[in-house]
């Protein structure tokens, strides 16, 4: 009997035909994404021009990536702000605008709204809120989330740095404690030599407090440097988009929890990985002055990972082929903070900031146990006001009632010392921004009277 012919050549020929099909079906590699989030952080970094900053690692990150100069959170306090940027939505449609909503009062996310980490998990990413690091890093991270809504599934897959490895893309966050109060960093800055912001009185208590804040920013920088070094040591840096930003503005008396620039303006630095082509709109080593809201991060990250941006998401992608048109305005809101019922709304364009106070009958310095305990300048400021030792701009903040409207020319008055809202010469600007704020409030279902 003749032997059966071998099928090996036929199989080999068939494989040569099918291999290109298999290869084309293989998923394209996707970048890792690492968010580094400072807590209560303003733009007091060397790369933003602060003369007293000790931030070499963040300055290097800025030099290697893009530094954004007009990046704003949508609320001047952590829980409302974090609720927004982790969903790409303003806080009001989520019912998340009241700072530290009681657990029993938290609502589930509306239909079509999800945590960004859940979206990345479903896209095949490993998600992480990192608190466990290699021992030689010698850093402690609290893993703060602080969202004002309920969610059912675990928010992240892991908390361990060791679980970030080549082979599966990751979306990870590191929520640093610094520079949140109490300030506990090693002392570096000399209180006698620091440059105070223009609003604050030149007093030894103010100087000591400002120096301690700068020291806490320096400690944040040290930890960021350690993390970036570990990213490189583990062979992950060339595949990872690094995004550094603050959760809300700096923790001083007219800043955090208020709608001035300093309560909402935070740094944003993005470094692009070497193993992926840079997206449209990104050029390393540059500075961008486009108006951005923190809720723009969520759609941008999804787009950079090749994922569709949900239609309901209110943030706008600002990088890549599908980036949205630049914003004309950015908006912000403050509602109840701790036990203090003050309601503020604000809008800024490239030059002006307009603030609307919906509770003008109350003092801006209304009683607040947290600030009275944690802010040494809080009591000092009230003492100086009672003694008549404040400038007119400072005294306005300490007055028994608040202005219903404020308008500031940020080009000429970056410290927001002169309220232009009553000035007839600026009526057109005030009315334009007031109308923009009215339209926005309607769009986000802000029903506050």
Residue at which a domain ends, from 305, 323, 341: 323
Helix, strand, coil percentages, rounded to 5, for the chain: 35, 15, 50
Same domain? 171 vs 38: yes
The DSSP code for 296 is G
Shared domain check, 239 and 163: yes
> How far apart, in whole angstroms, are the C-alpha atoms of residue 139 and residue 178?
12
Q: How far apart are CA 273 and CA 239, in angstroms?
A: 5
13 alpha-carbon distance from chain centroid: 56
* Alpha-carbon gap, residue 298 to 89, rounded angstroms: 9
- Separation between Cα atoms, residue 368 and residue 182, nearest integer Å: 16
Contact 113, 179 (CB under 8 A): no
Same domain, yes or no: 104 and 37:
yes
- Say if 10 falls within a structural domain: no
**Cα dihedral 41/46/49/51 (nearest 10):** 100
Q: Are residues 231 and 169 part of one domain?
A: yes
* pLDDT value, residue 331: 98
Q: In residues, how long is the chain?
A: 449
Q: What is the largest CA-CA distance in the chain?
A: 117
CB 299 within 8 A of CB 309: yes
> Based on the domain organization, do 338 and 394 belong to the same domain?
yes
Same domain, 344 and 299: no
The string of pLDDT tens digits covering residues 39-82 is 999 999 999 999 999 999 999 999 999 999 999 999 999 999 99
The domain that holds 402 is classified in CATH as 3.30.1120
Nearest-angstrom CA–CA distance, 178 and 39:
6
Nearest to 262 by CA among 210, 335, 323: 210
Q: Which of 286, 304, 323 is the last residue of a domain?
A: 323
Angle, CA 347 vertex, CA 346 and CA 353 arms, to 5°:
95
What pLDDT, on the 0 to 100 scale, is given for residue 25?
A: 54
Quickly count: other Cβ atoms within 10 Å of residue 23's Cβ: 8
Considering the domain architecture, whether residues 141 and 205 belong to the same structural domain is answered as yes
Q: Tell me the pLDDT tens digit for each residue of 264-281.
A: 999 999 999 999 999 999
Q: What is the C-alpha R_g of the chain? A: 25
Average pLDDT score, the chain: 94
Query: What residues make up the domain containing 357?
Result: 333-443
406: in domain = yes
Q: What is the pTM of this model?
A: 0.93
The CATH number of the domain where 75 resides is what? Answer: 3.40.720.10
Torsions phi, psi for 237 (to 5 deg): -60, -40
Residue 298 sits in the same domain as residue 411: no
Are 319 and 339 contained in the same domain?
no
Residues 157 and 269 in one domain: yes
Q: What whole-number distance in Å separates Cα of residue 138 and Cα of residue 176?
A: 13
Successive 10-residue mean pLDDT values, the chain, 449 residues: 46 48 64 98 98 98 98 98 98 96 93 97 98 94 96 96 93 98 97 97 98 98 98 97 98 98 98 97 96 98 97 96 96 96 98 98 96 96 97 96 98 98 98 98 92
243/341 same-domain check: no
Q: Say how many domains are in the chain.
A: 2
Going by DSSP bridges, is the β-strand pair 352-357/268-271 parallel, antiparallel, or unpaired? unpaired
Q: Where a domain ends, among 281, 303, 323?
A: 323
The partner residues of 225 in beta bridges, in order of sequence, read: none
My answer on whether 219 and 274 are in the same domain is: yes
């Amino acid at each position: 009997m003749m032997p059966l012919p071998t099928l090996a050549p036929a199989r080999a020929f068939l494989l040569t035909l099918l291999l290109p099909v298999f290869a084309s079906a293989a998923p394209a590699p996707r970048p890792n994404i690492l968010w580094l989030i400072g807590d209560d952080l303003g733009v007091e970094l060397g790369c933003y021009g602060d003369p007293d900053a000790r931030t070499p690692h963040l300055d290097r990150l800025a030099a290697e990536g893009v530094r954004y100069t007009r990046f704003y959170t949508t609320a001047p306090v952590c829980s409302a702000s974090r609720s927004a940027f982790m969903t790409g939505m303003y806080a009001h449609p989520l019912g998340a605008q009241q700072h530290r909503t009681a657990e029993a009062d938290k609502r589930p996310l509306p239909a079509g709204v999800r945590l960004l980490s859940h979206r990345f998990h479903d896209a095949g990413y490993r998600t992480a809120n990192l608190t466990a690091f290699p021992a030689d890093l010698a850093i402690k991270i609290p893993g703060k989330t602080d969202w004002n809504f309920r969610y059912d599934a675990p928010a992240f897959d892991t908390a361990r740095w060791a679980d970030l490895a080549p082979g599966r893309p990751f979306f990870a966050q590191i929520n640093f404690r610094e520079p949140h109060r109490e300030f506990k960093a090693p002392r570096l800055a000399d209180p006698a030599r620091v440059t105070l912001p223009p609003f604050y009185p030149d007093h030894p208590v103010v100087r000591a407090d400002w120096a301690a804040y700068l020291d806490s920013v320096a400690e944040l920088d040290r930890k960021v440097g350690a993390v970036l070094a570990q990213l490189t040591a583990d062979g992950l840096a060339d595949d990872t988009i690094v995004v550094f930003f603050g959760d809300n503005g700096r923790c001083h008396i007219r800043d955090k929890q208020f709608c001035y620039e300093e309560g909402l303006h935070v740094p944003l630095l993005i470094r692009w990985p070497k193993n992926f082509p840079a997206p449209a709109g990104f050029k390393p080593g540059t500075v961008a002055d486009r108006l951005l809201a923190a809720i723009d991060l969520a759609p941008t990250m999804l787009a950079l990972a090749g994922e569709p941006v949900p239609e309901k998401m209110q943030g706008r992608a600002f990088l890549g082929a599908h980036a949205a048109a630049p914003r004309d305005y950015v908006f912000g809101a403050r509602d109840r903070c701790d036990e203090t019922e003050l309601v503020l709304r604000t809008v800024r364009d490239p030059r002006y900031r307009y603030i609307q106070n919906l509770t003008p009958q109350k003092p801006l310095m209304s009683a607040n146990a947290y600030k009275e305990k944690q802010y040494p300048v809080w009591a000092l400021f009230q003492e100086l006001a009672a003694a008549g030792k404040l400038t007119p701009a400072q005294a306005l903040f300490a007055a028994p009632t608040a202005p219903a409207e404020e308008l500031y020319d940020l080009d000429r008055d970056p410290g927001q010392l002169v309220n232009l809202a009553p000035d007839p010469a600026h009526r057109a600007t005030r009315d334009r921004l007031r109308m923009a704020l009215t339209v926005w409030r309607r769009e986000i279902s802000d029903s506050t009277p």
